[in-house]
Every structure is written in structure tokens, then in C-alpha cells.
Amino acid sequence: MRSRAPLRISFCGGGTDVPPYPEQFGGCVLSCAIDKYAFVSLRARGDDSIRVHSSDLNRVAVFRGRTASLDGTIDLAQTIFNRFGTHSLDCYMNTDAPPGSGLGSSSAMIVALIAALARREGRHLTDYEMAELAYAVERTDLNIQGGMQDQYAATFGGFNFIEFTRDGVLVNPLRVNEDALNELHCQLLLCYTGETRASTNILREQTANVVSHKPDVMDSLAQLKTLTLELKRALLQHRFAEFGELLDRAWHLKKRLASGISNDGIDELYDIAKRAGATGGKLLGAGGGGFLLFFTPFTRRDKVRERLEFAGGKVVEFQFDPRGVRTWLATADTWVERSEA
């Protein structure tokens, strides 16, 4: 059994999906899935153990039965196996982007593993049930701080306007025609900054700022919600020049949510892109590293790419993915035997 779940680009609204803000004030994000993935492969074993191979972490972990306490090695997989009561299994996991990249890779991996296990055991989960379970694993079971958008983006795929309230999450798929998608795509550049980040401290500070109702932060979050709605309208009405300008405004607001969201290296790359002709952009994820997304008029695209790469950034090609997580059966001859198996 194999599965893959897409990573995502979040255009605007990140931060308004981080509890306790959405329960108190409501939040929303505009995001899309891309053709970078978290992959999972499952194969039955001849004994009662579970062996997890993570190529991203370059680790192999073995455990048996229901694990009472997590060992900190590959606790994400252990937690999901505990919930499903799984045993006698080889599990291989890898992603197209490293953890801490800002593309939602950890949440996508959880979604991919849940989807594979659910199909293997004949357990039907709706898209909402799958995303909710992934959120519970990551945020409740593992107590990893973060927002609510990534699990839904990986599960549903496509372009979505996602709303978060005290009553739950509502995913609104956007009907963007092919011409508009092509036009948007040819004006976006995805640039790896060269470093990943651990977002826990950033999110902890942001949460504390919300709990204490810090005026600058609360004002920024309110404005980000408004900009998310404006970005959605600009996308649906094909007003792409405005789309880039709104991204720029949103990035400056996002930097006010917590210290450490940006740094000198990120600011330098952003300024280089703007001077070369980019209209706007933002850092993806919670902040501190990972990928920058830029909106660049087509005639300036090559110049922006050249300047970013000269400064040490790495522009990565991508396409939009209209589909979310998917699973399929692998034939026996497609497995490559591993010496440790």
C-alpha cells in the first residue's frame, strides 16, 4: 500500500488559524496544494513488530505492540499506529521538502500515513474526518504547536479558502479557471532560503501575544483576515497585479506577530527580489527559514530568479495540484528489499 499527500503554499491568513485565535475571533486562509509530496509505503511483516524507515531523518525505529511512551525517534508514526492498533508492518516515509521548510510537510506526512492505514484496514474516512484526525494527532497527541490549515490542505488539495471558527473548519474549494491558474503560476517564484527552522518558539510567542491581547498582534491578525478575503477576490477576478501587492502588505503584517518570523538573511533575499522587480511575496510557514514565495511580473521573472540565486537562494520549480491525498496498491515487484528489513 502506498500513499502521497501534497505539500502546500499558503498565500495569506496564516496565524489566524493558530489557537486560541480562531475560537475567539475566527480565522481564514487562502492556500493551494503543489506537486511536492509526503510519501508513505506500507508492507506486511512476518512478525508482530513495526519497523519505520524515515529517509528524511535518516533513521530506522522498531517497536512492538502498543507503545505506552514515545521514544522521541519517530513519534509521529508511533502515535498514529497506536491510534489504529497497527502491528506487523514495514513503513517507509519520505518527503520532497525537509521538515521545517514551511510547506506543511509534517502535516502532509501525517495525512499520508493515516490515509494508507485507513485503506489498508478498510476504514472509510471522509476528507473532514481525515484532516480532523491528523490535526488531533499532531496538535493533541504530540502537543506540537501550530495552526489548523496544513492538515486540510494536504487532505483536500487544490485551491481553497478555509475558514476556522469555534464551531469547526469549513473548506471552500475555489473554482479558478485554467487560464487564470496558468497566469498565476507563471508569475510565482518559490525560493528556498537554504535553512529550515523550528517554529515552536515563534508559535509559542505568537500564542502568548494573542492570549494577552497584545494590540499590535491583534490588529495585524484582524488585517490579515481582511487581506485574505481581498486576495481571494483578486484571484477569482484575475486581478493579478493587485494580488502581488496584497502579498507584500500581508508579509509586513505577518512579521509583527512574533519576533523571529524573519531575520537578516530572509529580509535581504526579500529586498533583492523587490529591487529586481518582484511585486510582493512572503515567507511560507511560521517563519524563521524555509521557502519564500514571490509574485513577479512575467517580464521580470528571469531577472528576479538570477538575483535570488546569485545571493544564495535556490529557486524550485513547482506546479499546482488539484487533488489531495491519494492511495494505491503497490505490486510486489515494485518493492526494493532493504538489508535491515
Q: Do 43 and 89 touch, CB atoms closer than 8 A? A: yes
**pLDDT at position 69, please?**
55
Q: Of the listed 17, 90, 96, 150, which one is catalytic? A: 150
| Residue 17 falls in the annotated catalytic set | no
CA distances from 254 to 77, 83, 142, 146, 276 (A): 32, 35, 26, 15, 23
pTM of the model as a whole:
0.92
In the DSSP assignment, the letter for residue 252 is H
From start to end of the chain, where are the E strands?
Answer: 2-12, 27-44, 49-54, 59-64, 89-95, 159-165, 168-173, 188-192, 280-283, 291-295, 314-316, 326-328
Q: Do 297 and 187 touch, CB atoms closer than 8 A? A: yes
Angle between helices 240-254 and 178-185 (to 10 degrees): 50
**pLDDT at position 125, please?**
95
Residue 324 φ/ψ region, left for φ over 0, alpha for ψ in the -120 to 50 degree band, beta for the rest: beta
Angle between helices 105-120 and 75-84 (to 10 degrees): 30
Residue whose C-alpha is closest to residue 162's, from 115, 210, 229: 229
Q: Which domains does the chain have, with CATH numbers?
A: 2-174+329-334 (3.30.230.10), 178-316 (3.30.70.890)
The full 3-state SS of 4-66, as one line of letters, equals EEEEEEEEECCCCCCCCHHHHHCEEEEEEEEEEEEEEEEEECCCCEEEEEECCCCEEEEEECC
Classified as helix, coil or strand, 303 is: helix
**pLDDT tens-digit profile, the chain (341 residues):** 999 999 999 999 999 999 999 999 999 999 999 999 999 999 998 888 889 998 887 888 888 766 555 555 578 888 898 888 888 899 999 999 877 789 999 999 999 999 999 999 999 999 999 999 999 998 888 888 889 999 999 999 999 999 999 999 999 999 999 999 999 999 999 999 987 766 778 888 889 999 999 999 999 999 999 999 999 999 999 999 999 999 999 999 999 998 889 899 999 999 999 999 999 999 998 888 899 999 999 999 999 999 999 999 999 999 999 999 999 998 765 655 544 43
Q: How many CB atoms lie within 10 A of CB 204?
A: 12
Q: What is the rounded CA–CA span in Å between residue 56 and residue 74? A: 11
**pLDDT at position 341, please?**
38
**pLDDT at position 65, please?**
62
**pLDDT at position 64, please?**
76
